[in-house]
Amino acid sequence: MENKSHAFAAGIFVLVVTALVIGLGVWLTRDRGNYRTYELSSREGVAGLQPQAAVRYKGVSVGKVTHIGFDTQTNGNVLIRIAVSVDAPLSPTTFAVLGYQGVTGLAYVLLDDAGQSYPSLPPGPSGLPRLPLRTSPFSQLSEQGPAILSQVEEATRRVNQLLSEDNQRLLREAVVHIGQAAGGVNALSRRLDATVQQRLDPALAALPPLAQDARQALQSLQQAGDQVAATAAGFGQTAQRLNAPGGALEQATRSAQTLSLAVDRFATSTLPRMERAADETARAARLTGRAATSVSDNPQGFLYGSGRGLPGPGEPGFTPPQPAGDAP
């Protein structure tokens, strides 16, 4: 009887402890927040998304997934209901996308804001407002997977063609040729080293004396340049003296002007007088010649005068001269 009482007491203790644990769990998991329910309709698959999955706004937990089913309004779409805290700053630009937690494959709903407002979606049969659901990057990757695999297959096929036996043989020949070219370059470098040591080194040794000579030549040129500069300065001073007021150039200019005036006076006054004197002298010479001719023809004219001259042709008393053969 005593053993049965101990067993009964232990059972009651276990039941009480279990009830307390259940009550503590309910008390700890209770949620006193105010939530607003939204719907999401997606044509893409929602693998990894479970009820009670987290709903996050820009990484901050703001709610949970309450239901996953099929959309009776659009055939083939998946309907997701989420409960979002009224404190979450949702706006007309808010959209939803499925996110995945690392390599576990578990999905959650991520809310974010776009740069422009989305057109409001009509509510479903339940009357709950709907948010636009974008395609997740993983869904895009799964859609483009076959294309990526085909491209990888094509790249692999081309790599296999590139590494075929003929190409490998050509590659080996190219490597051999490269080795031969490297040997030729090595031999050429040795020849260049020998040339530098045998020919260029003596020439380089002769450069310091040449540099000394060149330095002396430059000094001589500098001295000659200084002398030329001094001579140029003397010429400049001479030119300044010639161009100075009252200098040789100004005096020469005045002398030339005076000579020009004298030439003008000679041309305007002296030459006309000399021409008139020459004309009068010529006239006097002609008169003197005529007088000499008359004296030689009629010398008695000094004594008796010139008298009357012989009649000429057409004048009274003119007698034409007789030919010499007809004379008596």
Give dist(CA 96, CA 132) in Å, integer.
6
pLDDT tens across 74-108, in order? 888 888 899 998 888 888 888 888 888 776 778 88
DSSP 208-256: HHHHHHHHHHHHHHHHHHHHHHHHHHHHHHHHHHHHSTTSHHHHHHHHH
- How confident is residue 195, by pLDDT bands cut at 50, 70 and 90? confident
- Considering only residues 161 and 141, tell me which one the structure prediction assigns the higher pLDDT: 161
30: pLDDT confidence band, cut at 50, 70 and 90? low
In this prediction, residue 255 carries a pLDDT of 73
Band (pLDDT 50/70/90 cuts) for residue 202 is low
Question: Nearest 5 degrees, angle CA 157-CA 160-CA 165?
Answer: 145
pLDDT-based confidence at 324, cuts 50/70/90?
Answer: low
Residue 159 burial (CB < 10 Å; 0-12/13-18/19+)?
exposed
CA nearest 61: which of 20, 28, 31? 31
pTM comes to 0.38
Q: How far apart are CA 215 and CA 221, in angstroms?
A: 10
More confident residue, 327 or 163: 163
Give the list of residues 6+ apart from residue 50 with CB closer than 8 angstroms, or none: 65, 68, 106, 107
If pLDDT is split at 50, 70 and 90, which confidence band does 300 have?
low
Range in 23-27, 157-161, 223-227, 235-239 the model is least confident about: 235-239
pLDDT tens-digit series, residues 103-160:
677 888 888 888 777 666 677 677 788 888 887 766 666 666 677 888 888 888 888 8
- Reported confidence tier of residue 4, pLDDT bands at 50, 70, 90: low
